[in-house]
């Protein structure tokens, strides 16, 4: 689809000139004069009502402030008129009951200028605060609202209690409140789309039920483009016959004269100008109309809109992305300062900051190199000896370093290696935690707490060095799928199989496609097909259905611990982090190994004083378990989850053959309700980013996502055949299969040694027999 | 297997080796490393159970190389400090280079001892075809009685009289010295010349003193070459007395190979070096040089690279003529001469049999002096001759010479290893970036492999930790000497090693100060590090590793204190167990006896058919031996009596010592090579690693305490009356030219001598 190619290029490049250089310029000819900007709407109330709220881009999981001191940077897009006018930042929040109201504050900064500090004292439900923002602090385009929560426990001063502290910002009610009127062509209209009560951004494609399939075919590129413009990762696509009145985006597209339009749609289309237009219907409802006589005309209109008024959105979003995470596609160094971190003295017990490192989709984890964290920090004197720095990658502690020094310690560029085995393709979360106990914590005299006595300072010079990575796309790898839309992001066209053309199944398929587009950072060109794929299916395909043949396969024996869980790094003591952040599935009550362990622990006291032999045997057993686990690259605690098929609400399974570039990713459930519920859980941002391995399931009991390690991988044809990459790949693969490595070494070097054994006595002067 | 077949096998094997090395240089996980290391170690230990299998020997080498290469790769790629932290990086780099030097030396050593040669003595030619032999005994300042034994033993060599000439090449009585501007020096030189001329005349040895002392020993030997004509030249140091079979064991090789320029034999010592003496290990523990002479020289021989060691060797005059005699550019003329001749395509042979017995320096000062000369000389060759780049050498010879010369850089690495832990203990400098798991997977397995290989290759001749101790003791004093020679390779001059020294009382060596300072520093560091570990609530794993490392260093330094705390040595003459039948005439009665041991000063006799009446201290007797049907007699006087195992033993001193006495002493001591061989074989028994380590730990404690006892002047020793050796009785020398002996070079010969 050439239209989509143009769209992809535009969205990837952000600047139209370069993108269009290779594009099908015929799409623009004859229309450039006609629609240089979005068409003006004349509908009443389309520009603005008296007050409206512009939600933050971030979803709920990105708006949770945890621990004693936590910071979140939220983004909101403002039109020029909105920036010129004074407004409010509305913060709706609730917090943990354990947060001590006295002294708990939520400070608000706008574009790095502090504006206010709010109390945190709403454990019973949401409380809303409006913070007035002076116009001079705002600017047109993307603005950054920084929230910093400082909170303490009511009664408990232990380090573990810190993990009970949280303040949740409500993404539905929070945002920037403005009274400024803006032009209906301004992209801020679209960006002001509200979220539903469930916290999701619904994108409703309106059309008659009978024409859902056709609407879907037509709308998939548009849906993805809108999602990319919005930049939100909580988008849910819904195919509906009529507008629901809920916040979100209602998409109408096509030609009013089209046969497939419903009367309502036809009416709206007929009043809308040609091309892409938008209307603010109030209450967070945005109507987007893409009117065109043909698919090509609509694509052209979409391209022009993106190249026109929406271009600042895209460019700004790219700039923000560069400062929000580290793209690890190329070796290099990125400092915390470049990621927006500011060096503020920390006075609490547990310092925590996070960095996201986005690994390329064909990244092969292994031990051939490490991400090098160069730490610049300082601690205050009189910390207790237990003071330590812990670095966690994807919720697994990978290293710890003592921070104890009686007179404080200053670290400059201290090198800390984070093993690449702890990372996976896509988004990786690196948490830097500093546990900073002090003697007076033991007394737990909350009134005597002195916030003016800082304990820790993490300097912005702290940086991360990304090494050269082994690059080989693997199949299956749901981490690459979820993180970068791999391999869908590399195909000209992929197959999208939907079992039945029902609105529910098509909604699920479109929602998944949106997530892939967000990961790939460009729309994915799809060929929508209704029905089940044939046995001879080749190429890259996403299959959505309710007939789940794999469900029966998900019995206990075929399940293995998630790959990320097997890295074997969490042997470092990290307070309560490990216990509170355990992997879903690994702590299941049905876990036989853990049950057995729990039984033995409980009954240990009943056997009296165990004999020396029993103790020795027990110790040996534990040591053996530990060594075995280490050799298998997993923790002792990480046992394979044992789940019955009936416990799975929905599954996602990746199969195929990488060498043949054939990949089938199947999302399925027993029925459409389960499918919708399961995909909602699966695409929830925090869950989506935990996908690993070859398959995953959504557990019916708690909607947790459990990833499952594949028994084997196949590889896509290499795109990087340089010697360096081949060497890194060999190291990574042979590390994973070290028996092969040892065997090869013994064979090769042993052969050489045997030859030496033959040749050496015959060389030089020979010994007299 | 023919050449074609060999290529058919060789190429795949070489390709397999190359692929194996590629795999070894992959950045693998710790899990893979550990499994690989343990598997390889297990197989290595299995191979080592068959020490006679050459195939298993090579497999042991390559498997040890696997672990070493993995270690080197990891050390290079993952453990070096960041270059942005020069305070860590610079010392870290120095430590790294020291380790890499060790790995290079390991590789060279593996090559050298790949297949140590075992030779079979060739038949001697017919008497008529035997080459003429000139024996050179170069001397500078050795005492006449020391020379007397060597010359007497040389004269007793089993070789046709007419084809053997013995030359004493006296550099202590050169014309220049006799005409020295200092009259005391000149007088001593003239006196020495006269004494030695007389001795030579009595023994039938040619005395030669040259005009000038140019080029030290090499110049002296070259002067000897000019006044002699033998086909072969034998060199014995002044204290190196040969056994009678020396020429029978060596000369035959020259008949087999026209291009043979050297037959070298081991140096066997009758006395203890300072370490053996002060740690009280002599005669139980293999001597330091046995590793070199029993294994390394045999390994070099395999590659036609065994070299001249300055003495106990036979050289072909024709070869020496090609290079205008012995080379004298460096102060180790022996190795340099061998290098020059190897470059010209001449061959060498090493005979692994002790055929001479000599002395080594007894005191630490003389020991260090000797090693300074060796180290400087070898580094002179390295820098001035550049053996690795010399034309005419085979690749194997280049490697062997490079290894031999590079070895002498060990003080730099040893001191680096000694002091490196202090940087972390005192300053927390992270010069080695590793955690405990990495340490176990890489360093520990490498260390285990190294110790296993050391035990496998050298266990028979070197106890655990003894190499490290010798290295450390020398390193402290050699460091400056090495810096000096590197800065100015032509600066060092030849210093004669003092031997035969005695020590009346036990005391600290004059060099002991540095060793005490280092020990106190290391011990303090250990204490401080342990304190750090106990008080820091979360001490780093690295600290634990460093404590262990520093503890070993402290142990080495403690044992070294024992070496510098010198036990008294009042024995002037070294004994050799001989078990020789003799007759002892006492009061005109004859008694059959066994001479149990012999030295230049006396003998110990066991009367197995009854003790003579009245045998007690001061009783005189006549000792009679038979040699080829001829009776040899000398007067002896009883000095002590001991209860032997079966019969009483009596210690006798020689009542007088004439040249004939030394002929008799030489006959008793050196008539049979097996006496030396037995003594060597008896102590060449491997000590297991754990036993050896336990013993070393014991030394560490015992010797440290003993050294501090000396330091605080708490030595309590009883004084015993020691009878002086009988004086050397010499007759005035006859005028030169009468019998062709005693070249005077125009200096008046002695008319009368009186040795008061």
Query: Per residue in B135-178, pLDDT tens?
Result: 999 999 899 999 999 999 999 999 999 999 999 999 999 999 99
Q: For residue A284, give the nearest of A221, A197, A395, A217 by alpha carbon.
A: A197
Structure tokens of B145? 């009685």
Q: Do A748 and B540 touch (CB under 8 A)?
A: no
- CB-based contacts of B410, cutoff 8 Å, min separation 6: B471, B474, B475
Residues of A in contact with B118 (CB under 8 A): 767-768
Taking the C-alpha atoms of residue B572 and residue B601, their distance in angstroms, rounded to an integer, is 8
Taking the C-alpha atoms of residue B144 and residue B659, their distance in angstroms, rounded to an integer, is 10
Other Cβ atoms less than 10 A from the Cβ of B322: the count is: 14
603-632 in chain A: CB under 8 A from chain B: 630-631
Q: For residue B743, give the nearest of B190, B165, B209 by alpha carbon.
A: B209
Looking at the predicted structure, is the pLDDT value of residue B501 above 80?
A: no
Helices A612-631/B30-47 angle, 10° precision = 110
- Say whether B145 is catalytic: no
- What Å distances lie between residue B33 and A270, A470, A726, CA to CA? 71, 19, 20
User: Nearest CB to B28: which of A385, A735, A755?
Assistant: A735
Which of the four pLDDT bands, split at 50, 70 and 90, describes residue A11? Answer: low
Q: For residue B678, give the nearest of B753, B749, B577 by alpha carbon.
A: B577
- Give me the percent of chain B exceeding a pLDDT of 90: 72
The whole-angstrom distance between A492's CA and the closest CA on chain B is: 36
Looking at the predicted structure, is the pLDDT value of residue A194 above 80?
A: yes
705-764 in chain A: CB under 8 A from chain B: 727-728, 730-731, 734-736, 738-739, 741-742, 744-761, 764
Helical (H) or strand (E) element with B372? helix B364-380
Beta bridge partners of A355: A430
- CB-based contacts of A386, cutoff 8 Å, min separation 6: A404, A435, A437, B537, B538
At B294-351, the pLDDT tens digits run 999 999 999 999 999 999 999 999 999 999 999 878 888 899 999 999 999 999 999 9
299-328 in chain B: CB under 8 A from chain A: 301-304
At B181-222, the pLDDT tens digits run 999 999 999 999 999 999 999 999 999 999 998 888 999 999
Average pLDDT over chain A reads 81
Domain boundaries A328-466, corresponding CATH code? 2.60.120.260
DSSP B493-534: ---PPP-S--BSS-EE-TTHHHHHHHHHHHHHHHHHHHHHHH
Structure tokens of A493? 């066209």
Residues of B in contact with A751 (CB under 8 A): 12-13, 16-17
For chain B, the domains span 9-78, 127-360, 576-681
| Residue of B334, B352, B597, B743 marked active site | B334
B257 touches chain A (CB under 8 A): no
The whole-angstrom distance between A768's CA and the closest CA on chain B is: 6
- What Å distances lie between residue A260 and A214, A216, A218, B255, CA to CA? 8, 12, 12, 113
How would you label A487-500 residue by residue, b for 16+ Cβ within 10 Å and e otherwise? bbbbbeebbbbbbb
Taking the C-alpha atoms of residue A375 and residue A391, their distance in angstroms, rounded to an integer, is 11
At B505-539, the pLDDT tens digits run 889 999 999 999 999 999 999 999 999 888 875 56
Looking at the predicted structure, is the pLDDT value of residue A10 above 70?
A: no
Q: For residue B128, give the nearest of B164, B160, B166 by alpha carbon.
A: B160
Which of the four pLDDT bands, split at 50, 70 and 90, describes residue A310? Answer: confident
User: What is the predicted pLDDT for the residue at A7?
Assistant: 53
Residues of B in contact with A736 (CB under 8 A): 29
Residues of A in contact with B62 (CB under 8 A): 749-750, 752-753, 756
354-393 in chain A: CB under 8 A from chain B: 366-369, 384-388
| Cα B623 from chain centre | 35
Q: Do B304 and A765 touch (CB under 8 A)?
A: yes
A407 touches chain B (CB under 8 A): no
| Mutation choice for B interface testing from A400, A756, A761 by most B CBs within 10 A | A756
Structure tokens of A131? 């913070």
- CB-based contacts of A298, cutoff 8 Å, min separation 6: A218, A222, A253, A254, A290, A291, A292
Range of weakest confidence among A628-632, A637-641, B51-55, B663-667: A637-641
518-547 in chain B: CB under 8 A from chain A: 536-540
Which of the four pLDDT bands, split at 50, 70 and 90, describes residue A210? Answer: confident
B259 touches chain A (CB under 8 A): no
Per DSSP bridges, beta strands B206-208 and B164-170 are parallel
Task: Supply φ then ψ for residue A760, to 5 degrees.
Answer: -60, -45
Range of weakest confidence among A272-276, B686-690, B742-746: B742-746
User: Nearest CB to B58: which of A734, A739, A756?
Assistant: A756
User: What is the predicted pLDDT for the residue at A600?
Assistant: 60
At A139-158, the pLDDT tens digits run 989 999 999 998 888 887 77
Taking the C-alpha atoms of residue B681 and residue A636, their distance in angstroms, rounded to an integer, is 55
User: Nearest CB to A752: which of B16, B433, B539?
Assistant: B16
CB A637 within 8 A of CB A570: yes
Taking the C-alpha atoms of residue A417 and residue B52, their distance in angstroms, rounded to an integer, is 47
Task: Supply φ then ψ for residue A133, to 5 degrees.
Answer: -120, 125
| Residue of B145, B171, B273, B352 marked active site | B171
| Mutation choice for B interface testing from A468, A630, A748 by most B CBs within 10 A | A748
Whether omega before B525 lies within 30 degrees of 0, making that bond cis, reads: no
B128 touches chain A (CB under 8 A): no
CB A671 within 8 A of CB A665: no
Where helices occur in B124-237 by DSSP H, the ranges are: 144-155, 175-178, 183-203, 216-226
351-370 in chain B: CB under 8 A from chain A: none
Q: Do A749 and B537 touch (CB under 8 A)?
A: no
Per DSSP bridges, beta strands A235-240 and B232-235 are unpaired
The whole-angstrom distance between B429's CA and the closest CA on chain A is: 12
Taking the C-alpha atoms of residue B304 and residue B401, their distance in angstroms, rounded to an integer, is 11
CB B10 within 8 A of CB A713: no
Length of chain B: 756
B510 touches chain A (CB under 8 A): no
User: Nearest CB to B27: which of A368, A745, A768?
Assistant: A368
**CA-based nearest residue in chain A for residue B39:** A742
CB B587 within 8 A of CB B530: no
Taking the C-alpha atoms of residue B267 and residue B160, their distance in angstroms, rounded to an integer, is 25
CATH architecture of B127-360: Alpha-Beta Complex (3.90)
Q: For residue B315, give the nearest of B446, B134, B62 by alpha carbon.
A: B134
Size of interface A-B (CB pairs under 8 A): 165
Q: State yes or no: ipTM above 0.95.
A: no
Where helices occur in A444-557 by DSSP H, the ranges are: 478-484, 503-520
Dihedral sign computed on CA atoms, order B229, B230, B235, B236: negative
Edge-to-edge strands, sheet with A695-699:
A526-530, A494-498, A540-545, A662-669, A648-657, A695-699, A705-708
6-45 in chain B: CB under 8 A from chain A: 6, 9-10, 12-14, 16-17, 19-20, 23-24, 26-32, 34-36, 39-40, 43
Strand, coil or helix: A674: helix
DSSP code at position A60: G
User: What is the predicted pLDDT for the residue at A415?
Assistant: 83
Residues of B in contact with A409 (CB under 8 A): none
Half-sphere exposure of B73 (CA within 13 A, CB side): 18
Strand, coil or helix: A640: coil
At A465-498, the pLDDT tens digits run 999 999 998 888 999 999 989 888 876 788 899 9
Which of the four pLDDT bands, split at 50, 70 and 90, describes residue A555? Answer: very low
Q: For residue A349, give the nearest of A287, A438, A414 by alpha carbon.
A: A438
Taking the C-alpha atoms of residue A435 and residue A576, their distance in angstroms, rounded to an integer, is 11
At A591-609, the pLDDT tens digits run 455 555 655 665 555 556 6
CB A109 within 8 A of CB A146: yes
Structure tokens of B213? 């002392």
User: What is the predicted pLDDT for the residue at A608?
Assistant: 60
Domain boundaries A474-478+491-557+646-715, corresponding CATH code? 3.30.379
Looking at the predicted structure, is the pLDDT value of residue A664 above 80?
A: yes
- Among left, alpha and beta (phi > 0; psi -120 to 50; other), residue B382 is alpha
Taking the C-alpha atoms of residue A468 and residue A370, their distance in angstroms, rounded to an integer, is 9
CB A386 within 8 A of CB B538: yes
Please give the span between the terminal C-alpha atoms of chain A, in angstroms, as a whole number: 82
User: Nearest CB to A760: which of B14, B23, B58?
Assistant: B58
The whole-angstrom distance between B475's CA and the closest CA on chain A is: 34
- What Å distances lie between residue A199 and A247, A519, B569, CA to CA? 10, 20, 95
Fold for domain B576-681?
Thrombin, subunit H (2.40.10)
CB A718 within 8 A of CB A460: no
- Say whether B170 is catalytic: no
The whole-angstrom distance between B121's CA and the closest CA on chain A is: 10
Residues of B in contact with A384 (CB under 8 A): 537
Taking the C-alpha atoms of residue A509 and residue A545, their distance in angstroms, rounded to an integer, is 9
Residues of B in contact with A727 (CB under 8 A): 26
Domain boundaries A52-178, corresponding CATH code? 2.60.120.260
Range of weakest confidence among A251-260, B65-74, B421-430, B726-735: B726-735
- CB-based contacts of A17, cutoff 8 Å, min separation 6: none
- What Å distances lie between residue B288 and A490, A638, B281, CA to CA? 69, 56, 11
A94 touches chain B (CB under 8 A): no
Q: CA A376, A380, A381, A383: dihedral to nearest 10 degrees?
A: -100
User: What is the predicted pLDDT for the residue at A607?
Assistant: 57
Q: Which of B570 and A141 is assigned the larger pLDDT?
A: A141
**CA-based nearest residue in chain B for residue A724:** B26
Looking at the predicted structure, is the pLDDT value of residue A393 above 90?
A: yes
Whether omega before A714 lies within 30 degrees of 0, making that bond cis, reads: no
How would you label B311-320 residue by residue, b for 16+ Cβ within 10 Å and e otherwise? bbbbbbbebb
Q: Do A755 and B82 touch (CB under 8 A)?
A: no
- What Å distances lie between residue A82 and A178, A367, A589, B401, CA to CA? 7, 51, 53, 84
Q: For residue B728, give the nearest of B535, B560, B572 by alpha carbon.
A: B572
Taking the C-alpha atoms of residue A417 and residue A135, their distance in angstroms, rounded to an integer, is 45
Whether omega before A230 lies within 30 degrees of 0, making that bond cis, reads: no
CB A514 within 8 A of CB A547: no
Which whole number is the average pLDDT over B646-660? Answer: 90
Q: Do B28 and A752 touch (CB under 8 A)?
A: no
| Mutation choice for A interface testing from B29, B41, B118 by most A CBs within 10 A | B29
Structure tokens of A763? 């060389």
């Amino acid at each position: 689809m050439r239209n989509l190619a143009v769209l992809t290029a535009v969205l990837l490049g952000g600047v139209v000139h370069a993108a269009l250089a290779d594009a099908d310029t015929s799409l623009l000819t004859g229309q450039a004069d006609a629609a240089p900007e979005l068409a003006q709407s004349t509908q009443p109330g389309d520009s603005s009502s008296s007050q409206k709220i512009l939600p933050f881009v971030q979803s709920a999981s990105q708006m949770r402030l945890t621990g004693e001191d936590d910071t979140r940077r939220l983004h909101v897009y403002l039109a020029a008129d909105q920036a010129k006018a004074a407004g409010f930042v509305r913060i709706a929040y609730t917090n943990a009951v354990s947060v001590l109201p006295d002294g708990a504050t939520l400070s608000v900064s706008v574009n790095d200028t502090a504006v206010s500090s709010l109390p945190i004292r709403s454990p019973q439900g949401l409380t809303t605060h409006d913070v007035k923002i002076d116009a001079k602090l705002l600017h047109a385009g993307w603005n950054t609202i920084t929230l910093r929560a400082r909170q303490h426990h009511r009664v408990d001063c232990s380090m573990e209690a810190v993990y009970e502290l949280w303040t949740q910002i409500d993404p539905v009610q929070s945002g920037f409140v403005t009274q400024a009127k803006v032009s209906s062509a301004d992209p801020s209209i679209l960006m002001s789309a509200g979220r539903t009560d469930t916290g999701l951004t619904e994108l409703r494609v309106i059309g008659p039920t009978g024409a859902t399939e056709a609407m879907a075919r037509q709308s998939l590129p548009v849906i993805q483009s809108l999602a990319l413009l919005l930049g939100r990762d909580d988008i849910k696509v819904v195919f509906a016959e009529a507008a629901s009145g809920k916040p979100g985006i209602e998409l109408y597209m096509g030609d009013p004269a089209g046969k497939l339009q419903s009367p309502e749609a036809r009416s709206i289309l007929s009043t809308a100008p040609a091309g892409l237009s938008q209307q603010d219907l109030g209450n967070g409802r945005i109507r987007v109309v893409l009117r065109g006589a043909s698919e090509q005309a609509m694509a052209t209109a979409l391209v022009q809109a993106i190249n026109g008024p929406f271009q600042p959105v895209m460019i700004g979003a790219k700039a923000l992305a560069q400062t929000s995470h580290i793209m690890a596609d190329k070796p290099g160094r990125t400092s915390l300062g470049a990621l927006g971190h500011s060096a503020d003295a920390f006075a609490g017990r547990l310092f925590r900051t996070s960095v996201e490192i986005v690994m390329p989709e064909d990244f092969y984890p292994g031990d051939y190199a490490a991400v090098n964290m160069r730490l610049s920090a300082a601690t205050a004197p009189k910390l207790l000896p237990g003071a330590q720095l812990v670095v966690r990658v994807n919720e697994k502690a990978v290293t710890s370093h003592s921070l104890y020094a009686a007179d404080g310690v200053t670290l400059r560029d201290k090198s800390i290696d984070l093993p690449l085995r702890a990372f996976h393709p896509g988004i990786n979360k690196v948490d830097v935690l500093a546990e900073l106990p002090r003697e007076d914590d033991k007394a737990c005299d909350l009134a005597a707490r002195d916030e003016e006595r800082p304990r820790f300072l993490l300097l912005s010079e702290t940086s991360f060095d990304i090494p050269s990575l082994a690059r080989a796309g693997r199949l299956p790898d749901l981490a690459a799928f979820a993180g970068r839309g791999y391999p869908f992001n590399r195909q000209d066209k992929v197959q999208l199989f939907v079992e039945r053309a029902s609105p529910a199944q098509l909604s699920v398929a479109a929602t998944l496609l949106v997530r892939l587009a967000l990961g790939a950072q460009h729309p994915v060109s799809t060929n929508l097909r209704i029905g089940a794929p044939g046995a001879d299916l080749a190429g890259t395909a996403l299959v959505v259905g309710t007939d789940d043949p794999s469900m029966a396969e998900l019995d206990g024996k075929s399940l293995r611990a998630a790959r990320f869980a097997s890295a074997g790094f969490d042997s470092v003591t990290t307070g309560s982090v490990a216990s509170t952040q355990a992997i879903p599935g690994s702590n299941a009550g049905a876990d036989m190994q853990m049950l057995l362990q729990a039984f033995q622990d409980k009954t240990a006291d009943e056997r009296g004083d165990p004999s020396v032999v029993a103790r020795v045997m027990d110790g040996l057993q534990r040591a053996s378990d530990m060594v075995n686990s280490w050799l298998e690259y997993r923790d002792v605690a990480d046992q394979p989850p044992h789940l019955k098929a009936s416990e799975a609400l929905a599954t996602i399974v990746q199969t195929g053959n990488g060498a043949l570039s054939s990949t089938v990713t199947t999302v399925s459930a027993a029925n459409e309700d389960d499918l919708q519920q399961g995909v909602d859980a699966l695409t929830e941002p925090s869950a989506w980013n935990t996908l690993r391995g070859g398959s995953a399931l959504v557990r019916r009991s708690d909607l947790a996502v459990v990833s499952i390690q594949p028994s084997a991988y196949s590889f896509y044809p290499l795109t990087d055949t340089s010697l360096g990459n081949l060497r890194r790949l060999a190291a990574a693969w042979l590390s994973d299969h070290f028996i092969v490595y040892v065997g090869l070494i013994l064979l090769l070097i042993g052969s050489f040694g045997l030859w030496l054994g033959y040749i050496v006595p015959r060389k030089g002067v020979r010994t007299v027999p | 297997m023919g050449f074609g077949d060999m290529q058919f096998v060789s190429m795949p094997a070489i390709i397999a080796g190359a692929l194996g090395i590629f795999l070894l240089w992959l950045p693998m996980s710790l899990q893979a490393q550990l499994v690989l290391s343990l598997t390889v170690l297990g197989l290595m230990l299995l191979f080592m159970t068959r020490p006679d299998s050459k195939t298993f020997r090579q497999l042991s080498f390559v498997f040890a190389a696997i672990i070493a290469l993995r270690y080197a790769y990891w050390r290079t790629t993952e453990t070096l400090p960041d270059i942005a932290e020069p305070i860590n990086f610079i010392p870290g780099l120095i430590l790294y280079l020291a380790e890499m030097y060790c790995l290079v030396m390991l590789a060279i050593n593996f090559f050298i001892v790949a297949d140590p040669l075992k030779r079979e003595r060739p038949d001697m030619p017919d008497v008529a075809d035997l080459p003429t032999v000139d024996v050179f005994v170069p001397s500078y300042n050795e005492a006449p009685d020391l020379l007397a034994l060597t010359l007497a033993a040389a004269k007793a060599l089993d070789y046709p009289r007419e084809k053997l000439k013995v030359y004493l090449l006296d550099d202590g009585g050169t014309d220049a010295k006799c005409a020295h501007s200092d009259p005391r020096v000149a007088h001593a030189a003239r006196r020495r010349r006269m004494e030695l001329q007389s001795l030579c005349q009595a023994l039938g040895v040619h005395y030669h003193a040259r005009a000038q002392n140019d080029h030290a020993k090499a110049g002296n030997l070259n002067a000897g070459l000019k006044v002699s004509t033998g086909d072969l030249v034998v060199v014995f140091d002044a204290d190196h007395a040969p056994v009678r079979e020396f020429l029978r064991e060596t000369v035959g090789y020259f008949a087999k190979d026209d291009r043979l320029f050297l037959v070298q034999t081991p140096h066997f010592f009758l006395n203890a070096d300072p370490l053996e003496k002060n740690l009280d290990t002599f005669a139980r523990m293999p001597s330091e040089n046995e590793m070199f002479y029993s294994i390394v020289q045999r390994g070099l021989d395999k590659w036609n690279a065994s070299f001249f060691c300055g003495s106990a060797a036979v050289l072909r005059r024709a070869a020496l003529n090609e290079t205008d005699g012995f080379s004298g550019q460096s102060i180790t003329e022996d190795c340099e001469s061998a290098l020059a001749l190897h470059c010209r395509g001449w061959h060498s042979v090493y005979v692994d049999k002790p055929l001479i017995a000599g002395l080594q320096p007894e005191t630490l000062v003389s020991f260090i002096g000797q090693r300074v000369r060796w180290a400087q000389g070898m580094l002179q060759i390295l820098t001035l001759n550049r053996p690795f780049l010399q034309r005419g050498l085979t690749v194997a010879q280049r490697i062997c010479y490079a290894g031999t010369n590079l070895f002498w850089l060990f003080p730099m690495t040893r001191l680096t290893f000694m002091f490196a832990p202090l940087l972390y203990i005192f300053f927390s400098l992270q010069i080695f970036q590793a955690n405990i798991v990495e340490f176990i997977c890489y360093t520990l397995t490498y260390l285990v492999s190294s110790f296993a290989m050391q035990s496998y290759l050298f266990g028979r001749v070197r106890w655990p930790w003894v190499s490290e101790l010798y290295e450390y003791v020398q390193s402290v004093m050699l460091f400056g000497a090495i810096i000096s020679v590197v800065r100015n390779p032509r600066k060092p001059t030849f210093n004669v090693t003092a031997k035969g020294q005695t020590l009346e009382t036990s005391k600290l060596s004059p060099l002991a100060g540095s060793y005490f300072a280092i020990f106190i520093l290391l011990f303090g560091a250990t204490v401080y590090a342990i304190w750090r570990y106990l008080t820091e609530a979360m001490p780093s794993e690295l600290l634990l590793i460093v404590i262990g490392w520093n503890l070993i260093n402290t142990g080495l330094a403690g044992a070294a204190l024992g070496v510098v705390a010198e036990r008294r040595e009042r024995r002037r003459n070294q004994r050799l167990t001989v078990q020789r039948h003799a007759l002892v005439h006492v009061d005109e009665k004859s008694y059959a006896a066994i001479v149990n041991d012999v030295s230049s000063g006396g003998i110990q006799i066991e009367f197995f058919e009854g003790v003579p009446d009245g045998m007690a201290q001061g009783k005189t007797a006549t000792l009679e031996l038979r040699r080829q049907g001829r009776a040899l007699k000398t007067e002896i006087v009883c000095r002590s009596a001991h209860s032997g195992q079966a019969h009483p033993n009596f210690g006798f001193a020689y009542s007088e010592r004439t040249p004939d006495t030394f002929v008799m002493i030489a006959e008793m001591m050196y008539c049979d090579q097996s006496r030396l061989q037995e003594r060597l074989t008896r102590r060449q028994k491997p000590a297991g690693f754990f036993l050896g380590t336990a013993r070393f730990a014991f030394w560490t404690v015992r010797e440290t305490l003993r050294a501090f006892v000396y330091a605080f002047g708490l030595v309590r020793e009883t004084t015993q009356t020691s009878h002086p050796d009988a004086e050397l009785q010499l007759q005035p020398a006859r005028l030169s030219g009468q019998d062709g002996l005693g070249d005077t070079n125009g200096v008046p010969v002695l008319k009368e001598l009186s040795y008061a």
